[in-house]
Amino acid sequence: MSTEVKDSEARAKAAQHLEAERPSLEFGGAWDYAPAPEARDHVRLEKAYRLFIDGRFVAAKSRRTFPTINPATEEILARVDEAGAADVDAAVRAAEEAGRKRWSRLAPAERGKYIYRIARLLQEKSREFAVLETLNGGKPIKESRDVDVPLAVAHFFYHAGWADKLAYAFPRHRVAPVGVCGQIIPWNFPLLMAAWKIAPALACGNTVVLKPAETTPLTALHLARVVQEADLPPGVVNIVTGAGETGAHLVNHPRVRKIAFTGSTEVGKIIQRALAGTDKRLTLELGGKAANIIFEDAPLDQAVEGIVNGIYFNQGHVCCAGSRLLVQESVAEAVLAKLANRVATLRLGDPLDKNTDVGAINSKMQLTKIRELVAAGIDEGAQIHQSSCAIPEKGFWFPPTFFTGVAQSHRIAREEIFGPVLAVMTFRTPEEAVEKANNIPYGLSAGVWTDKGSKIFKITAKMRAGVVWANTFNKFDPASPFGGYKESGFGREGGVHGLRGYVELE
Ligand code: NAI
Ligand code: MG
């Protein structure tokens, strides 16, 4: 009894003290951060970038080039060669010859050494790559620095380790490479996707022709320099830049043995149709519309951080983004109040600033698409909630946004927006949550937030999605396979599962 009194006295005193010590916030509103820009001169840009074929940078025979810009300022960073049919052909032939004469003949442990060397060089040049990724793609420097580049490095390290252990990955088989792999990647994680594609292919003894996305070719071309510096045999890695047409040349080239594609479901379908009836192998990693499910027993503050990370990370340009929030009705009001507060604190602006949370939209085209879907959300009767943050005058920007009053039939609940836009829906029972989460043509990822371990196992097992996170979101590891169900594609990347797409088993 007496201690209780003491305690409460102490608490009252402490509270008085705090009150006196608390700094006044009454001097002109919110505290502002001072600008903290990362230096641009970590990276030396060329005026013009050539294709990387057979170990050398060569001018495109097509004689065509295209500009690549910084989406945060619309400044032209460089001009880049556009590979035509003859250029793609040269790259594929170089890859074929390098595979036959050199790469596939090397002892697997030797191949591993080269991949380790790429990993180490990339790690040494982390800052340069992070700055370049942010300049060319618009993502915040803290993401390129802390997520994209370290994960790309980790991917090379991880797969270097597999190079001489394929017999353990596929026991009772003779393991052979597939041959030349054509790899087509998107603009949301340009360097990371290059690593996801190149590292397992090389570890399994294949050679590659990689086509980066047309808006973000620069980090892949800088990776080509790393490949040179690592002294890889010429032709093992080739990089051809260009848009969809260049990609189509690669898909349709008769000497390509496998296509690995990450991008839109629309283009994935075109590629699958093009390869039907051929003996080329195919893996597709396509769109998503993930459900992020918040149960009433979840730690709500952490869940709100997970919601924010799920949809506003990388401006929502994430195939596995948690773009559909399913929140249990009993806590919906509390969660949405917390979410609104949190969204108001997100800092949008200069992607090179270390305090920026939300960077630029990758391209004008993508901004147009986001605007169109947001307009559809308003037209169809959902309520829009949007951060009132200031929008820079130049460049492509979209404020963090969420919609309430969303019906499952709304376009914003069904289509991949690929922007910082969240559709919020509610549910009452776990069964209803599962039903709603799976009621979508996509199946790439999902998230479940609850305090109960048994509920985690029960719900995650019912998700028709390739990756399911529990009490976290958007976590990646090279040892963990990633890929989809349904219209999100097929095949896995990462982990032992990811090797399967790059080997012939006899
Ligand atoms: P996209 O699918 O057209 O582009 C991805 C890659 O495919 C790029 O390298 C592109 O040059 C290449 N490509 C385009 N057409 C091709 C063809 N016919 N044959 C071979 N390669 C081809 O994606 P886009 O147009 O940049 O974005 C449109 C929408 O797609 C986005 O709004 C988003 O919803 C979705 N998307 C999804 C991604 C994901 O990771 N799930 C990545 C990029 C876009
Ligand atoms: Mg497209």
Residue 430 sits in a domain of what CATH number?
Answer: 3.40.309.10
- At residue 358, the 3 state secondary structure works out as strand
255 and 364 together in one domain: no
242 and 322: one domain?
Answer: no
Count the neighbouring beta carbons within 10 Å of the beta carbon of residue 38. 19
Rounded Cα–Cα distance for residues 19 and 165 (Å): 63
Q: pLDDT by residue (tens digit) across 363-387?
A: 999 999 999 999 999 999 999 999 9
Element (H, E) at 442: strand 442-443
For residue range 392-403, list pLDDT tens digits in order.
999 999 999 999
CATH number for the domain harbouring residue 185: 3.40.605.10
Question: Ligand 1 mean position to 139 CA, how many Å?
Answer: 18
Its domain, for residue 65, covers: 48-106+177-286+485-505
Nearest CA to ligand 1 atom 15: 244
Examine residue 379 and state whether it is found in any structural domain, yes or no: yes
Assigned domain for 212 exists: yes
Do 367 and 444 share a domain, yes or no?
Answer: yes
DSSP state of 147: I
- Token reading at 469: 């996170």
The reported pLDDT for the residue numbered 27 is 53
- DSSP helix/strand/coil, 206: coil
Catalytic residue among 96, 143, 285, 487: 285
d(CA 453, CA 185): 37
Asked whether residue 276 falls in the same domain as residue 305, the answer is no
Same domain, 197 and 242: yes
Per-residue pLDDT of the chain (506 residues; tens, 9 = 90+): 344 444 556 555 545 554 545 544 455 556 778 999 999 999 999 999 999 999 999 999 999 999 999 999 999 999 999 999 999 999 999 999 999 999 999 999 999 999 999 999 999 999 999 999 999 999 999 999 999 999 999 999 999 999 999 999 999 999 999 999 999 999 999 999 999 999 999 999 999 999 999 999 999 999 999 999 999 999 999 999 999 999 999 999 999 999 999 999 999 999 999 999 999 999 999 999 999 999 999 999 999 999 999 999 999 999 999 999 999 999 999 999 999 999 999 999 999 999 999 999 999 999 999 999 999 999 999 999 999 999 999 999 999 999 999 999 999 999 999 999 999 999 999 999 999 999 999 999 999 999 999 999 999 999 999 999 999 999 999 999 999 999 999 999 999 999 999 999 99
Residues 197, 74, single domain; the answer is yes
Q: Is 154 left (phi over 0), alpha (psi -120 to 50) or beta?
A: alpha
* Domain identity same for 237 and 386: no
**Tally of domains within the chain:** 2
Q: Strand locations in 44-161, DSSP E? A: 48-49, 51-53, 56-58, 64-70, 75-82
Residues 314 and 206 in one domain: no
User: Residue 319 catalytic?
Assistant: yes
| Res 386: pLDDT | 97
Q: Is residue 406 assigned to a domain?
A: yes
Measured from the Cα of 185, ligand 1's closest atom is: 9
Residue nearest to atom 25 of ligand 1 (CA): 264
| pTM recorded for the entire structure | 0.94
The tokens for 142 are: 């803290």
Q: How far is CA 457 from CA 292, 454, 460, 462, 484, in A?
A: 15, 5, 5, 9, 19
Q: In this structure, what DSSP letter does residue 453 have?
A: H
Does residue 420 line the site of ligand 1, with CB under 6 A?
Answer: no
In b/e form, how buried is each residue of 484-501, taking b as 16+ CB within 10 angstroms? bbbbbbbbbbbbeebbbb
Q: Does the beta carbon of 286 sit less than 6 angstroms from any atom of ligand 1?
A: yes
Residue 501 and residue 491 in contact, taking contact as beta carbons nearer than 8 Å: yes
